[in-house]
Homo-oligomer: A and B are copies of this chain.
Amino acid sequence: MSCPIGNYNGDAQSGERLGSEAGMLYGDYLMLDKVLSAQRMLSVESNKPVHDEHLFIVTHQAYELWFKQIIFELDSIRYLFSTEHMEESRTLEILKRLNRIVLILKLLVDQVPILETMTPLDFMDFRDYLSPASGFQSLQFRLLENKLGVKTEHRVKYNQKYWEVFSSDPAAVEKIAATESEPSLADLVEKWLERTPGLEEDGFNFWGKFQESVEQLLLEQEASAMKEEYEHVKNYRLMDIEKRREVYKSIFDSSVHNALVTRGDRRFTHRALQGAIMITFYRDEPRFSQPHQLLMLLMDIDSLITKWRYNHVIMVQRMIGSQQLGTGGSSGYQYLRSTLSDRYKVFIDLFNLSTFLMPRGSIPPLTDEMQKALNLAWGSPAHRPRHQVKHLTEK
Protein backbone atom coordinates (compact mmCIF):
# COMPACT_ATOMS: atom_id res chain seq x y z
CA MET A 1 0.00 0.00 0.00
CA SER A 2 1.78 3.11 -1.11
CA CYS A 3 -0.10 5.64 0.85
CA PRO A 4 -2.98 4.57 2.91
CA ILE A 5 -3.47 7.94 4.47
CA GLY A 6 -5.48 9.02 1.51
CA ASN A 7 -8.10 6.56 2.55
CA TYR A 8 -9.08 8.43 5.66
CA ASN A 9 -12.75 7.81 5.54
CA GLY A 10 -13.23 4.80 3.33
CA ASP A 11 -14.90 1.79 4.85
CA ALA A 12 -12.03 -0.48 3.99
CA GLN A 13 -13.11 -3.99 4.83
CA SER A 14 -16.55 -3.87 3.37
CA GLY A 15 -15.30 -2.72 0.03
CA GLU A 16 -18.12 -0.20 -0.20
CA ARG A 17 -16.53 2.71 -1.96
CA LEU A 18 -17.12 5.61 -4.19
CA GLY A 19 -16.02 6.00 -7.74
CA SER A 20 -13.69 8.69 -8.89
CA GLU A 21 -16.38 11.40 -8.63
CA ALA A 22 -15.24 12.14 -5.12
CA GLY A 23 -11.63 13.04 -5.83
CA MET A 24 -8.58 12.41 -7.90
CA LEU A 25 -7.07 8.98 -8.38
CA TYR A 26 -3.68 8.27 -6.83
CA GLY A 27 -1.81 7.63 -10.06
CA ASP A 28 -3.28 10.63 -11.85
CA TYR A 29 -2.64 12.91 -8.91
CA LEU A 30 1.03 11.88 -8.78
CA MET A 31 1.35 12.09 -12.58
CA LEU A 32 2.95 8.68 -12.54
CA ASP A 33 2.62 8.42 -16.31
CA LYS A 34 5.30 11.10 -16.56
CA VAL A 35 7.47 10.07 -13.63
CA LEU A 36 7.53 6.36 -14.41
CA SER A 37 8.16 6.75 -18.14
CA ALA A 38 11.31 8.81 -17.69
CA GLN A 39 13.75 5.92 -17.30
CA ARG A 40 15.43 5.69 -20.66
CA MET A 41 18.37 3.32 -20.71
CA LEU A 42 20.92 4.33 -23.32
CA SER A 43 22.60 0.97 -23.04
CA VAL A 44 19.35 -0.70 -24.07
CA GLU A 45 18.91 1.71 -26.93
CA SER A 46 22.45 0.86 -28.01
CA ASN A 47 21.58 -2.83 -27.88
CA LYS A 48 24.15 -3.50 -25.20
CA PRO A 49 21.86 -3.58 -22.17
CA VAL A 50 23.58 -2.94 -18.85
CA HIS A 51 21.44 -3.95 -15.92
CA ASP A 52 22.85 -1.35 -13.53
CA GLU A 53 22.10 1.67 -15.69
CA HIS A 54 18.53 1.56 -14.41
CA LEU A 55 19.72 2.03 -10.86
CA PHE A 56 21.94 4.90 -11.93
CA ILE A 57 19.00 6.70 -13.50
CA VAL A 58 16.50 6.11 -10.71
CA THR A 59 18.97 7.13 -7.99
CA HIS A 60 19.72 10.42 -9.71
CA GLN A 61 16.07 11.13 -10.40
CA ALA A 62 15.33 10.57 -6.73
CA TYR A 63 18.10 13.02 -5.88
CA GLU A 64 16.60 15.60 -8.20
CA LEU A 65 13.09 15.12 -6.78
CA TRP A 66 14.42 15.82 -3.31
CA PHE A 67 16.49 18.77 -4.52
CA LYS A 68 13.25 20.23 -5.83
CA GLN A 69 11.63 19.75 -2.42
CA ILE A 70 14.57 21.35 -0.63
CA ILE A 71 14.45 24.34 -2.97
CA PHE A 72 10.70 24.62 -2.37
CA GLU A 73 11.27 24.74 1.38
CA LEU A 74 14.23 27.12 1.05
CA ASP A 75 12.17 29.55 -1.02
CA SER A 76 9.38 29.55 1.52
CA ILE A 77 11.83 30.04 4.40
CA ARG A 78 13.47 32.95 2.61
CA TYR A 79 10.04 34.44 2.06
CA LEU A 80 9.21 34.14 5.76
CA PHE A 81 12.51 35.76 6.69
CA SER A 82 12.27 38.51 4.14
CA THR A 83 9.11 40.33 5.19
CA GLU A 84 9.95 43.74 6.49
CA HIS A 85 9.03 43.08 10.06
CA MET A 86 9.35 39.37 10.38
CA GLU A 87 6.79 38.14 12.87
CA GLU A 88 8.02 35.94 15.66
CA SER A 89 4.93 33.82 15.28
CA ARG A 90 6.44 32.45 12.06
CA THR A 91 9.59 31.18 13.74
CA LEU A 92 8.08 27.76 14.48
CA GLU A 93 7.13 27.45 10.83
CA ILE A 94 10.68 28.27 9.82
CA LEU A 95 12.02 25.75 12.32
CA LYS A 96 9.72 23.06 10.98
CA ARG A 97 10.80 23.66 7.40
CA LEU A 98 14.48 23.79 8.24
CA ASN A 99 14.06 20.55 10.15
CA ARG A 100 12.40 18.99 7.14
CA ILE A 101 15.39 19.97 5.01
CA VAL A 102 17.62 18.35 7.60
CA LEU A 103 15.67 15.09 7.38
CA ILE A 104 15.78 15.12 3.58
CA LEU A 105 19.53 15.73 3.59
CA LYS A 106 19.96 12.77 5.93
CA LEU A 107 18.06 10.65 3.44
CA LEU A 108 20.30 11.84 0.63
CA VAL A 109 23.34 10.81 2.65
CA ASP A 110 21.76 7.39 3.23
CA GLN A 111 21.06 7.06 -0.47
CA VAL A 112 24.76 6.95 -1.36
CA PRO A 113 25.28 3.29 -0.33
CA ILE A 114 22.57 2.22 -2.76
CA LEU A 115 24.49 3.69 -5.66
CA GLU A 116 27.62 2.06 -4.27
CA THR A 117 26.13 -1.38 -5.01
CA MET A 118 27.04 -0.60 -8.58
CA THR A 119 30.62 -1.83 -8.93
CA PRO A 120 33.23 -0.03 -11.05
CA LEU A 121 33.12 -2.72 -13.71
CA ASP A 122 29.36 -2.28 -14.10
CA PHE A 123 29.65 1.46 -14.25
CA MET A 124 32.39 1.26 -16.88
CA ASP A 125 29.94 -0.61 -19.08
CA PHE A 126 27.71 2.40 -19.70
CA ARG A 127 29.47 5.56 -18.61
CA ASP A 128 30.59 6.26 -22.13
CA TYR A 129 27.06 7.27 -23.07
CA LEU A 130 27.26 10.22 -20.71
CA SER A 131 28.74 13.59 -21.35
CA PRO A 132 32.10 13.80 -19.60
CA ALA A 133 31.02 16.88 -17.72
CA SER A 134 27.59 15.60 -16.84
CA GLY A 135 28.18 15.53 -13.13
CA PHE A 136 28.59 19.27 -13.06
CA GLN A 137 25.26 19.83 -14.67
CA SER A 138 22.75 19.53 -11.90
CA LEU A 139 21.07 22.86 -12.26
CA GLN A 140 19.03 22.34 -9.12
CA PHE A 141 22.03 21.59 -6.92
CA ARG A 142 23.67 24.79 -8.14
CA LEU A 143 20.51 26.77 -7.37
CA LEU A 144 20.26 25.13 -3.99
CA GLU A 145 23.82 26.11 -3.11
CA ASN A 146 23.26 29.69 -4.23
CA LYS A 147 19.99 30.03 -2.36
CA LEU A 148 21.71 28.82 0.78
CA GLY A 149 24.47 31.34 0.30
CA VAL A 150 27.49 29.71 -1.38
CA LYS A 151 29.20 32.67 -3.00
CA THR A 152 30.90 32.56 -6.38
CA GLU A 153 34.12 33.88 -4.88
CA HIS A 154 34.31 30.93 -2.48
CA ARG A 155 33.96 28.32 -5.17
CA VAL A 156 36.95 26.59 -6.70
CA LYS A 157 37.94 28.15 -9.97
CA TYR A 158 36.40 25.70 -12.38
CA ASN A 159 33.12 25.65 -10.53
CA GLN A 160 32.64 29.38 -11.00
CA LYS A 161 32.01 29.36 -14.74
CA TYR A 162 28.51 27.98 -14.83
CA TRP A 163 27.78 29.63 -18.17
CA GLU A 164 30.15 27.15 -19.79
CA VAL A 165 28.57 24.16 -18.11
CA PHE A 166 25.09 25.28 -19.11
CA SER A 167 26.10 26.87 -22.40
CA SER A 168 23.35 25.06 -24.27
CA ASP A 169 20.62 26.06 -21.80
CA PRO A 170 20.11 29.86 -21.57
CA ALA A 171 17.15 29.47 -19.22
CA ALA A 172 19.38 27.66 -16.75
CA VAL A 173 22.03 30.38 -16.95
CA GLU A 174 19.37 32.98 -16.26
CA LYS A 175 18.02 31.11 -13.26
CA ILE A 176 21.49 30.81 -11.78
CA ALA A 177 22.17 34.49 -12.34
CA ALA A 178 18.90 35.31 -10.57
CA THR A 179 19.84 33.33 -7.47
CA GLU A 180 23.12 35.18 -7.33
CA SER A 181 21.41 38.54 -7.07
CA GLU A 182 18.57 37.59 -4.72
CA PRO A 183 19.22 37.60 -0.99
CA SER A 184 20.32 34.13 0.06
CA LEU A 185 19.26 32.41 3.25
CA ALA A 186 22.62 33.38 4.73
CA ASP A 187 22.00 37.05 3.85
CA LEU A 188 18.57 37.02 5.44
CA VAL A 189 19.78 35.25 8.57
CA GLU A 190 22.50 37.89 8.86
CA LYS A 191 19.98 40.73 8.78
CA TRP A 192 17.82 38.93 11.30
CA LEU A 193 20.73 38.41 13.68
CA GLU A 194 21.61 42.10 13.47
CA ARG A 195 18.17 42.86 14.91
CA THR A 196 18.70 40.69 18.02
CA PRO A 197 17.11 42.52 20.97
CA GLY A 198 19.73 43.47 23.56
CA LEU A 199 22.46 44.56 21.19
CA GLU A 200 21.50 48.25 21.44
CA GLU A 201 24.45 50.19 22.83
CA ASP A 202 22.08 52.54 24.65
CA GLY A 203 20.09 49.63 26.05
CA PHE A 204 21.32 46.33 27.47
CA ASN A 205 24.53 46.82 25.49
CA PHE A 206 25.43 43.15 25.35
CA TRP A 207 28.66 43.62 23.49
CA GLY A 208 30.10 46.07 25.99
CA LYS A 209 29.17 43.83 28.90
CA PHE A 210 30.61 40.76 27.18
CA GLN A 211 33.98 42.44 26.59
CA GLU A 212 34.20 43.37 30.27
CA SER A 213 33.39 39.81 31.31
CA VAL A 214 36.07 38.36 29.08
CA GLU A 215 38.67 40.76 30.41
CA GLN A 216 37.65 39.93 33.97
CA LEU A 217 37.81 36.18 33.33
CA LEU A 218 41.22 36.30 31.73
CA LEU A 219 42.61 38.33 34.64
CA GLU A 220 41.26 35.81 37.12
CA GLN A 221 42.75 32.93 35.18
CA GLU A 222 46.08 34.71 35.08
CA ALA A 223 46.04 35.20 38.82
CA SER A 224 45.18 31.55 39.34
CA ALA A 225 47.89 30.38 36.94
CA MET A 226 50.54 32.41 38.81
CA LYS A 227 49.89 30.26 41.87
CA GLU A 228 50.72 27.00 40.07
CA GLU A 229 53.31 24.92 41.86
CA TYR A 230 54.96 23.35 38.80
CA GLU A 231 56.75 25.83 36.62
CA HIS A 232 55.96 24.13 33.29
CA VAL A 233 52.27 23.93 34.14
CA LYS A 234 52.26 27.62 35.05
CA ASN A 235 53.97 28.57 31.82
CA TYR A 236 51.67 26.40 29.80
CA ARG A 237 48.63 28.01 31.37
CA LEU A 238 49.92 31.54 30.91
CA MET A 239 50.72 30.86 27.30
CA ASP A 240 47.26 29.44 26.86
CA ILE A 241 45.64 32.54 28.37
CA GLU A 242 47.69 34.72 26.05
CA LYS A 243 46.44 32.72 23.08
CA ARG A 244 42.87 33.13 24.19
CA ARG A 245 43.32 36.88 24.50
CA GLU A 246 44.46 36.91 20.87
CA VAL A 247 41.48 34.84 19.86
CA TYR A 248 39.00 37.20 21.51
CA LYS A 249 40.72 40.14 19.90
CA SER A 250 39.56 38.82 16.55
CA ILE A 251 35.95 39.53 17.52
CA PHE A 252 36.37 42.58 19.68
CA ASP A 253 38.62 44.47 17.29
CA SER A 254 36.43 45.17 14.29
CA SER A 255 39.42 45.76 12.04
CA VAL A 256 40.67 42.22 12.72
CA HIS A 257 37.13 40.94 12.13
CA ASN A 258 36.85 42.76 8.85
CA ALA A 259 40.22 41.48 7.69
CA LEU A 260 39.01 37.94 8.33
CA VAL A 261 35.83 38.64 6.36
CA THR A 262 37.90 39.94 3.47
CA ARG A 263 40.01 36.79 3.54
CA GLY A 264 36.85 34.69 3.45
CA ASP A 265 37.56 33.11 6.84
CA ARG A 266 34.58 34.82 8.37
CA ARG A 267 31.23 35.66 6.75
CA PHE A 268 28.82 37.49 9.07
CA THR A 269 28.92 41.21 9.68
CA HIS A 270 30.31 42.21 13.05
CA ARG A 271 26.86 42.96 14.40
CA ALA A 272 25.34 39.68 13.19
CA LEU A 273 28.13 37.81 14.94
CA GLN A 274 27.26 39.68 18.13
CA GLY A 275 23.65 38.61 17.78
CA ALA A 276 24.60 34.98 17.30
CA ILE A 277 26.80 35.00 20.40
CA MET A 278 24.11 36.69 22.44
CA ILE A 279 21.49 34.12 21.45
CA THR A 280 23.88 31.31 22.32
CA PHE A 281 24.52 32.70 25.79
CA TYR A 282 20.90 33.36 26.72
CA ARG A 283 19.29 30.48 24.85
CA ASP A 284 17.46 29.35 28.00
CA GLU A 285 15.35 32.50 27.95
CA PRO A 286 12.01 31.69 26.29
CA ARG A 287 12.31 34.30 23.60
CA PHE A 288 15.74 33.08 22.52
CA SER A 289 15.05 29.38 22.58
CA GLN A 290 13.59 29.16 19.09
CA PRO A 291 16.24 31.43 17.62
CA HIS A 292 18.82 29.14 19.22
CA GLN A 293 17.20 26.05 17.70
CA LEU A 294 17.24 27.88 14.39
CA LEU A 295 21.00 28.42 14.58
CA MET A 296 21.47 24.72 15.42
CA LEU A 297 19.45 23.67 12.38
CA LEU A 298 21.46 25.94 10.09
CA MET A 299 24.60 24.17 11.28
CA ASP A 300 22.94 20.79 10.74
CA ILE A 301 22.21 21.74 7.15
CA ASP A 302 25.78 22.82 6.55
CA SER A 303 27.14 19.65 8.18
CA LEU A 304 24.87 17.36 6.22
CA ILE A 305 25.67 18.89 2.87
CA THR A 306 29.35 18.48 3.69
CA LYS A 307 28.74 14.87 4.80
CA TRP A 308 26.91 14.19 1.59
CA ARG A 309 29.78 15.64 -0.43
CA TYR A 310 32.15 13.51 1.62
CA ASN A 311 30.26 10.25 1.12
CA HIS A 312 30.11 11.10 -2.51
CA VAL A 313 33.87 11.59 -2.68
CA ILE A 314 34.44 8.18 -1.15
CA MET A 315 32.01 6.59 -3.59
CA VAL A 316 33.63 8.30 -6.55
CA GLN A 317 37.04 7.12 -5.40
CA ARG A 318 35.71 3.58 -5.25
CA MET A 319 34.01 3.93 -8.62
CA ILE A 320 36.63 5.68 -10.71
CA GLY A 321 39.76 5.66 -8.58
CA SER A 322 41.82 8.63 -7.54
CA GLN A 323 45.16 8.03 -9.14
CA GLN A 324 45.83 10.02 -12.24
CA LEU A 325 49.54 9.80 -12.40
CA GLY A 326 52.04 11.89 -14.26
CA THR A 327 49.52 14.34 -15.67
CA GLY A 328 49.43 17.11 -13.14
CA GLY A 329 45.76 17.51 -14.04
CA SER A 330 43.01 17.03 -11.51
CA SER A 331 40.48 14.29 -11.63
CA GLY A 332 36.83 14.43 -10.69
CA TYR A 333 37.92 12.95 -7.39
CA GLN A 334 40.36 15.77 -6.73
CA TYR A 335 37.78 18.36 -7.66
CA LEU A 336 35.21 16.89 -5.33
CA ARG A 337 37.69 16.67 -2.49
CA SER A 338 38.31 20.38 -2.87
CA THR A 339 34.63 21.20 -2.24
CA LEU A 340 34.95 19.67 1.23
CA SER A 341 36.88 22.65 2.51
CA ASP A 342 35.38 25.05 5.00
CA ARG A 343 34.98 27.58 2.19
CA TYR A 344 31.82 25.79 1.05
CA LYS A 345 30.31 26.03 4.52
CA VAL A 346 27.79 28.82 4.47
CA PHE A 347 27.37 29.08 8.23
CA ILE A 348 31.01 28.55 9.14
CA ASP A 349 30.78 31.37 11.71
CA LEU A 350 28.21 29.45 13.71
CA PHE A 351 30.54 26.46 13.91
CA ASN A 352 33.29 28.69 15.16
CA LEU A 353 31.16 30.41 17.80
CA SER A 354 32.28 27.84 20.34
CA THR A 355 35.74 29.35 20.17
CA PHE A 356 34.40 32.45 21.91
CA LEU A 357 32.21 31.01 24.63
CA MET A 358 32.87 31.33 28.33
CA PRO A 359 31.78 29.37 31.40
CA ARG A 360 28.20 29.95 32.44
CA GLY A 361 29.29 31.72 35.65
CA SER A 362 31.07 34.45 33.72
CA ILE A 363 28.26 35.35 31.33
CA PRO A 364 26.97 38.89 31.96
CA PRO A 365 23.77 38.66 34.06
CA LEU A 366 20.54 39.95 32.53
CA THR A 367 19.09 43.16 33.86
CA ASP A 368 15.57 42.97 35.25
CA GLU A 369 14.28 44.80 32.25
CA MET A 370 16.06 42.51 29.81
CA GLN A 371 14.94 39.44 31.73
CA LYS A 372 11.38 40.63 31.42
CA ALA A 373 11.72 41.30 27.73
CA LEU A 374 12.90 37.74 27.21
CA ASN A 375 10.53 35.96 29.53
CA LEU A 376 7.04 34.55 29.52
CA ALA A 377 4.89 32.95 32.15
CA TRP A 378 2.99 29.73 31.61
CA GLY A 379 -0.26 28.84 33.32
CA SER A 380 -1.06 29.71 36.89
CA PRO A 381 -0.02 28.15 40.17
CA ALA A 382 -1.72 24.82 39.95
CA HIS A 383 -2.05 21.32 41.33
CA ARG A 384 1.09 20.42 43.12
CA PRO A 385 2.17 16.87 42.34
CA ARG A 386 1.70 14.57 45.32
CA HIS A 387 5.15 13.01 45.15
CA GLN A 388 8.23 15.08 44.67
CA VAL A 389 10.63 13.79 42.06
CA LYS A 390 14.26 14.34 42.86
CA HIS A 391 17.07 14.43 40.42
CA LEU A 392 20.77 14.16 40.99
CA THR A 393 22.05 17.08 39.01
CA GLU A 394 19.39 19.67 39.85
CA LYS A 395 20.02 21.88 42.83
Contact = CB atoms under 8 A, between A and B. Distances in A.
A16 B232 CA distance: 10
A227 interface: no
A181 interface: yes
A135 B17 contact: no
A10 B76 contact: no
B127 A6 contact: yes
B66 A58 contact: yes
A286 B91 contact: yes
Nearest to A36: B68
A170 interface: no
A32 interface: yes
Decide if the interface of chain A is mainly helix, strand, loop or mixed.
Answer: helix
Contacts of A37: 34
Nearest to A79: B391
A290 B125 CA distance: 22
B110 A321 contact: no
Interface string A186-203: 011001101111000000
Nearest to A84: B384
Given A79-B391, A332-B8, A354-B120, A134 B65 contact: no
Nearest to A380: B195
A390 to B, nearest CB: 7
Interface string A105-127: 01100110110010111011101
B375 A351 contact: no
A205 interface: no
Contacts of A12: 136, 158, 330-332, 334-335
A384 B111 CA distance: 38
A115 B139 CA distance: 25
A154 interface: no
A395 to B, nearest CB: 8
A141 B1 contact: yes
- Interface bracket on A: 35 or more
A285 to B, nearest CB: 6
Given A29-B42, A49-B393, A120-B357, A312 B4 contact: yes
Contact of A4 (B316, B380, B390, B394): B316
Given A24-B42, A30-B38, A284-B89, A136 B1 contact: yes
A151 interface: no
A133 B310 contact: no
A19 to B, nearest CB: 7
B8 A75 contact: no
A303 interface: yes
Contact of A286 (B89, B243, B324): B89
Given A1-B138, A65-B62, A330-B12, A314 B306 contact: yes
Nearest to A132: B10
B99 A117 contact: yes
A351 B322 CA distance: 8
A128 interface: yes
Nearest to A265: B323
B332 A5 contact: yes
A204 interface: no
A214 interface: no
A92 interface: yes
A378 B287 contact: yes
Contact of A29 (B130, B280, B391): B130
Interface string A343-371: 00000000111111111100000000000
6 contacts: A3-B134, A5-B320, A23-B130, A26-B136, A30-B64, A183-B389
